[in-house]
Structure 1
Amino acid sequence: MTAAVHSSRESHSEWVRLRTLVNLRWTAVFGQIVAIGVAWLVYDIALDLALCLLIVGATVLANLLAMLLFPENRRLSETETMLTLVFDTAQLALLLAVTGGLDNPFALLILAPTAIAATALHTLPTVIVGMVTITLVSLLGIYSAPIMMYDGTLIAVPEIFEFGIWVAIIIGVVFLGIYARRVSSEIHSMGDALLATQMALAREQKLTDLGGVVAAAAHELGTPLATIKLVSTELADELDDRPELREDALLIRQQADRCRDILRSMGRAGKDDKHLRVAPLLAVLREAAEPHLNRGKTILFEAAPGPGGSERQPSVIRFPELVHALRNLVQNAVDFARETVWVEAEWSTETITVRIVDDGPGYPPGVLGRIGDPFLSARKGEADRGKRAEYEGMGLGLFIAKTLLERTGARLKFANGTAPFLQGAEYPGRSGAVVEVVWPAARIASAEGALGENQPIIR
């Protein structure tokens, strides 16, 4: 799963289609021709029309070549996208240079390539495009043709305003670049995390389906295997006077026993019936924690009715995402616990609550409000990394757990041991991280109970 997410993150820079940039260029070409035509025909501005059209024609030529040489579905590499945006920046800067420079009201459009780079590219290419833009804008402030009317009137803004325009564009390049890059990174991280969530859920679903198939096969094969064992035993008893045939009969019985044991071990997950789809709440919690029971930490399970709850433990629908998510939360608690993890269950007529508490250091206070965000890094020191050297998840596990549980209707709260539902004097050891998961009882509780009739296999 980690490799797949890494591959997805690496491919983000190749999400830009060449045809997308070509269409944006056609829009820019249309706007530039309209602006030149209006300035020349309506406002009598003395432009070097041939030079302006030559500069615009360079973009037209680049677009035509791109359309002729490459297929419509061509996606650009990061370097190709960067060079394309640098070309667009240089073309616009050259057009501004012959039409007034920073005095041209359309100078602000030079920010567009930087914003696109910050959205589509990684940091280094974005910085390169931004530095090219800043350099060209600075040159425009020094070298540019003035805007002249046909009657010789010079159109120019005061120098202080021109300097202000230069500063504004530079700030815009930096601000828009950082802002767009930050938003883009958040979107990419969320996309990667959602991909990991889908993969985790698909894996859990496949394991559940496989367990059901194997368990059903074990159930259905039990009778013929028992028959084989019975017949082979009777044959062995009747072949006492023929040792070589008796050994074969005993071998058949032995292999039948082996088949039975193999199928039994493979089918422990249960059959595709009520045992698989519905189970007592505490049984589901134990199943979720099972992979972490032998990791050197004590995991204690507690279940009790809350106010208004019945003494009978509720049976819940065994959603694959529910089991996988609770397993992630228990894993996180075991990773950071010193000695003990508590898994508590409480129910009432309206809600079902699960709390996972450990006696570790708890969540860093600075990230409590951001827990559940993907790729959240809260530990950067060497000492902290040593406490959990086997993980590079950067909060991805908690994000997956939170997302999957919310799909089942749950609300999650993350806190430290001072949470209001824990009394420090009553539970002095539970001073670490606390995760509280609350479901509306109607979402996961089964009204039919945990058991039911097995469904026969269709023959």
Structure 2
Amino acid sequence: MSGTTDIFAVLKDPAAVTALGQAAGHQNMQQLIQLRWIAVVGQISTIAIIAWGLGIQLPVAYMLEVLACLIAFNVASQLRWHEKWTVTNGELFLSMLVDVASLTAQLYLSGGTSNPFVFLYLLQVILSAVLLEAWSTWTIVAITSGCLAGLALVSKPLALPLFHERGYFSLYIQGMLICFAINASLLVVFITRIMTNLRARDSKLAEMRQRAVEEEHIVRMGLLASGAAHELGTPLATMAVILGDWKRMPAFKNDPDMLEELQEMQTQLARCKSIVSGILLSAGEARGESSTRTTINTFLGDLADEWRNSRPVQTFEFENHLVHDVPVAFDSTLKQTICNLLDNALEASPHFVRLEATREGESLKLLVTDRGPGFQAAVLEQLGKPYNSTKEKPGRGLGLFLVVNVARTLGGTVDASNLVQGGAAVLLTLPLAAIAVPDNSADEVKE
């Protein structure tokens, strides 16, 4: 299946795995951009309160210039990362260096280490520990430490009134409390968001690895089935020749009951040969050389008639609610997928099976229902996992496993549930785009 190849390629290619991490980095970059806008608003508010509210002398013009540069950088970042969806560690590192540089410039202009907001350096360090690789984080630690030491040497202390007062009357203490509240709040909000992004990335990788394992299992099964089909070809042909000879022998030819038995054996043998041929045809991709151009109604009608005539079902209902016929390409793999659903229903409910076909938007929906005991909760929770069955027989649980993976390869879904009135329902949803015949091939559709 092409989907299997794509997943294996992703998981075996370090660059492809890295791209998944870079996609999560894009979301984290968006968080940094939001945080930078909050910093811009906070700096404007602080400058206004300190300079004009409290009357403390600050180089407002220079501070606004630094702020303008930060705004320009953030606007450029927002435009760039709106178009580009992968972010590297180096790009995140550079972005955080700009934040550190901006904070250092503002602190230099507003008192250096005597400014209570100097503890905002911790915000940069903690964010770097979450977002960046180890070498980048330690570089941020070294740079912020150097900036802090430099501010202590070259900056002028901020002339705060009531600087030496104790308790809440000290503006320095009040600033420290505000800085702590801002640090704590921003860390809780943004680290929670960042960790959500990282968990989503890890979950995506785990899901892809699990899917690769499952589809590798399908590949192995396909190889085994193909090999078995080749091996069965010769004995089946031999049996067909023997049955033909028996029908011409006088001992059997003159016995009507025996002839009827032989005819039934030939019918079942023909079905076995058809199954083997189908395995060989569909051993490749889900949409391969075994595709047959037809229409939805023709395909489903023929499938329903064939399944009804070849299975010992007491009552089989087929309801086709498709008003508009659509040219499509169905192959033996998809045919076997639908038959697997019907066969599972027949095992649970030999007296009644129902197939209903509907169209919803651009999707084909096939609903198979029965009147059996229904699914157990454990089976529903692990739907589509190999060997997920309560039947104590070897190989059970592979039917739904194959159905789910074929549907997933075509971009569809499989949902299962238990009916209130008793029995089970399995809904196979397939996008019409995955099975539709291109317009330029519509004239080749087989009716």
Report the TM-score range of the alignment, normalised by the length of the smaller protein: 0.3 to 0.5
Normalised by the size of structure 2, how large is the TM-score?
0.43
Q: Normalized per residue, which structure has more helix?
A: 2
Normalised by the size of structure 1, how large is the TM-score?
0.42
